[in-house]
Structure 1
């Protein structure tokens, strides 16, 4: 039973590397997991479908965030940002990539639109990337960093949800810990992501890279943007963004936050009421695939959990390693990597990991902060390079708008190398020194 997780995740990875669509790859992995666990084909499909509801809230929030992002773009405020970036950073490749990483970071803690800004901001910059011979893999790495590192290290916005999920998981399984201790424990693993980003920008992808000239034409609803200046609508758009952030922080609900921002855009007449259908349709078109991938990934995770495959894997690990902290920490991180690679969500994986890790780590003498660091790192690991993760699907949605960027080879492989390896090393160190 312990081999089910390894084999099924390998199926997903191999199919994804072979350029099979990620939805088919995850579905195949889920069926393999079910069949290896003794279920028949029909039972495996039914279990996958039954588990898809586990990410229904996330999927709905992505759809609403997509519509909110489209509404923001309708006002032309994103064109102002794009125009500014082009004017100031043309020819400055390193600064441009660092600026994109910074903008992406704001989407986690300040402007809570998560990945929804990427299909709005990035496509207009693709022509500039090609002119500068900028390696898009560097941009993908910068975007994934911004989508992940802030909530891992900073207890604000999505960070509050991530840290609270770790705290709840630990307390539900017998360890008492404060939010401050959780935040401090994740500073070391998060630092590993900073190192990975710098390596990607200044070493790995620093050289010029030309891309295939054959591309899909990108249509722009508002090509004439040169005359756009900051106006009243842009000011009201900022009000809607701030309101969405406040509501998200107050209610701990992405859905309520996104809905608040979207409704305000209409109430304040920033977006005409007659554009409502168009805004929602475009939002669904932009984020629908990502939302559905998250649903399928949740179904796969449900199969692994309900069949006992994950529990069996951790049990075998604990039996083999005994009380050797050095080996236990590195092996549990690798187990977390496999589990999260399959499920594709660090938020969705944390409760599973906490239930499995906490008893073992309590028995072997790990401190609460070391336990939090290990759980948080293990949850973040696979998410950074998983084909099913929003942290990789989001960057691809923008960078592949012209058909020149491959999800696996140009996003997942670079992010896996530059973030998962440092996370493993720094998370392992944190588990041993805290």
Structure 2
């Protein structure tokens, strides 16, 4: 049924806004999509569970990266960073948000660790944010910008994977474009995210914000945290372990192997004592386990939509009303991309699905190959920011909610949806008409 995608995404969104647990909301959305397509409850649940295996590799890698992040924090090297920031950026709210956006941007292209840096960098800075009365929603916007904008515009690291996915998907459907041309087509859509970042920092979340009250089931952090800024041998060995992890990931593109190597080296170097092994792994699971399970369930939801051909039905229904007006066609295609990616939560996974449907429609409507690439890339990227199931929102929440003072939906998803999806939609729509 064509409306299964729309209704199921609405179910997930409404439940999430009502503060229902994200995992429960996604399961409800998956079952809704299955039932609307004629599946019984048991078969819909089977499709959901069967699809979870598609993200098992990613889920395990995130848990291991969480353990590695805990090991790095145990070394005390983050205290040096926090001490430096306390000295240099004290009372400079705007500057620290831009620094975080810059560091996050490096995680996609220059040092492709994706969200793994967040649980290392952000939790030690929460006390500083509170002292500065920095609005954590601004930090969430900065982190999501860094996790998203670079791969949309720059074909290096995760950006290369994104652009190559667009290239391969378009080739499969009859359009041959080089990576450089695809990257050029996405400069204008990606620029919309820069506008969104500036609006978030200088307008929406510019004013100081008092820290919220700590929930009763959370421990209040110590009032004073002593930061040891002396660089020691254990810090050097930690940097070596981090470098090895980055090299393995860059050469073999395997997060699990990279994280395992980093953890093993931290124990071999005696940076983390052997008797702390259980604690490191357990804390890593506690930090990143929720994200891993959300991504597993999101993969199951995507499988329900794919196996029931709900996305294809939605696009085919939309195409019946498109006519020959390019502006209207682009608007509808981007809207479909927004809905689909909001549900699936992954730009990369959405691209092949959308390309198979967008290419023939764009060719028939007279869009240029570059305009088609812009539409596919923008439609795939739309919804990644703001989706409760996206690692672009789950990652920032994992760091900012370390003390229980940051809500995933209202403090991460809603702000990033407004500041990035709206300008990305507008700029992507403009690119499809001008290219």
Q: Which residue of 1 aligns with 2:431?
A: 430
- Give the stretch that moved more between structures: 362-371 or 322-331: 362-371
- Give the stretch that moved more between structures: 400-409 or 115-124: 115-124
Q: Which residue of 1 aligns with 2:326?
A: 325
CA distance in structure 2 between the aligned counterparts of 1:270 and 1:366, rounded to whole angstroms: 57
Q: Which residue of 2 aligns with 1:195?
A: 195
Q: Which residue of 1 aligns with 2:162?
A: 162
- Give the stretch that moved more between structures: 398-407 or 415-424: 398-407
Q: Is the 8 A contact 2:186 2:374 kept in 1?
A: yes
What are the within-5 Å matches in structure 2 for residues 122-141 of structure 1? 122-141=122-141
Return closer, same or farther for 1:126/1:224 CA change in 2, 3 Å cut-off.
closer
Q: Is the 8 A contact 1:346 1:383 kept in 2?
A: yes
- Give the stretch that moved more between structures: 134-143 or 398-407: 398-407
- Give the stretch that moved more between structures: 150-159 or 418-427: 150-159
Is 2:156 the partner of 1:147?
no
Q: Is the 8 A contact 1:196 1:419 kept in 2?
A: yes
Distance apart, 1:235 and its partner CA? 2.5
Once the two structures are superposed, residues 227-270 of structure 1 have per-residue CA deviations (whole angstroms, 9 ceiling, x without a partner) of 34223332232233233223222223333333333333344444
Once the two structures are superposed, residues 66-102 of structure 1 have per-residue CA deviations (whole angstroms, 9 ceiling, x without a partner) of 1222222222111211121122111111011111111
What are the within-5 Å matches in structure 2 for residues 283-432 of structure 1? 283-432=284-433
Distance apart, 1:289 and its partner CA? 0.6
Q: Which residue of 1 aligns with 2:279?
A: 278
- Give the stretch that moved more between structures: 96-105 or 357-366: 357-366
CA distance in structure 2 between the aligned counterparts of 1:286 and 1:410, rounded to whole angstroms: 18
Q: Which residue of 2 aligns with 1:120?
A: 120
TM-score (norm 1): 0.94
Q: Is the 8 A contact 1:123 1:218 kept in 2?
A: no
Q: Which residue of 2 aligns with 1:16?
A: 16
Return closer, same or farther for 1:259/1:432 CA change in 2, 3 Å cut-off.
farther
- Give the stretch that moved more between structures: 242-251 or 323-332: 242-251
Is 2:240 the partner of 1:227?
no
Gaps of 5+ in 1: none
- Give the stretch that moved more between structures: 241-250 or 291-300: 241-250
- Give the stretch that moved more between structures: 61-70 or 406-415: 61-70
TM-score (norm 2): 0.94
Once the two structures are superposed, residues 28-78 of structure 1 have per-residue CA deviations (whole angstroms, 9 ceiling, x without a partner) of 011111111101110110010011112222212211221222222222111
Q: Is the 8 A contact 2:27 2:301 kept in 1?
A: yes
CA distance in structure 2 between the aligned counterparts of 1:4 and 1:75, rounded to whole angstroms: 49
What are the within-5 Å matches in structure 2 for residues 62-73 of structure 1? 62-73=62-73
CA distance in structure 1 between the aligned counterparts of 2:220 and 2:178, rounded to whole angstroms: 48
Q: Which residue of 1 aligns with 2:44?
A: 44
- Give the stretch that moved more between structures: 61-70 or 271-280: 271-280
Q: Is the 8 A contact 1:218 1:401 kept in 2?
A: no
Gaps of 5+ in 2: none
Q: Is the 8 A contact 2:83 2:229 kept in 1?
A: no
Q: Is the 8 A contact 2:79 2:228 kept in 1?
A: no
Q: Is the 8 A contact 2:61 2:256 kept in 1?
A: yes
Q: Is the 8 A contact 1:122 1:399 kept in 2?
A: yes
CA distance in structure 1 between the aligned counterparts of 2:371 and 2:36, rounded to whole angstroms: 34
Aligned length: 432
CA distance in structure 2 between the aligned counterparts of 1:189 and 1:408, rounded to whole angstroms: 25
Once the two structures are superposed, residues 357-400 of structure 1 have per-residue CA deviations (whole angstroms, 9 ceiling, x without a partner) of 12222232322222222111111111100011111111112222
For the aligned residue pairs, the C-alpha RMSD in angstroms reads 1.9
CA distance in structure 2 between the aligned counterparts of 1:364 and 1:20, rounded to whole angstroms: 42
Distance apart, 1:198 and its partner CA? 0.5
CA distance in structure 1 between the aligned counterparts of 2:349 and 2:153, rounded to whole angstroms: 18
Distance apart, 1:218 and its partner CA? 5.3
Return closer, same or farther for 1:252/1:391 CA change in 2, 3 Å cut-off.
same
Q: Is the 8 A contact 2:75 2:235 kept in 1?
A: yes
Once the two structures are superposed, residues 385-420 of structure 1 have per-residue CA deviations (whole angstroms, 9 ceiling, x without a partner) of 001111111111222222222111111110000000
CA distance in structure 1 between the aligned counterparts of 2:265 and 2:374, rounded to whole angstroms: 39
Q: Is the 8 A contact 2:78 2:124 kept in 1?
A: no
CA distance in structure 2 between the aligned counterparts of 1:254 and 1:187, rounded to whole angstroms: 28
Q: Is the 8 A contact 1:337 1:381 kept in 2?
A: yes
Return closer, same or farther for 1:326/1:66 CA change in 2, 3 Å cut-off.
same
- Give the stretch that moved more between structures: 8-17 or 258-267: 258-267
Query: Helix, strand or coil: the match of 1:108?
Result: coil
Q: Which residue of 2 aligns with 1:239?
A: 240
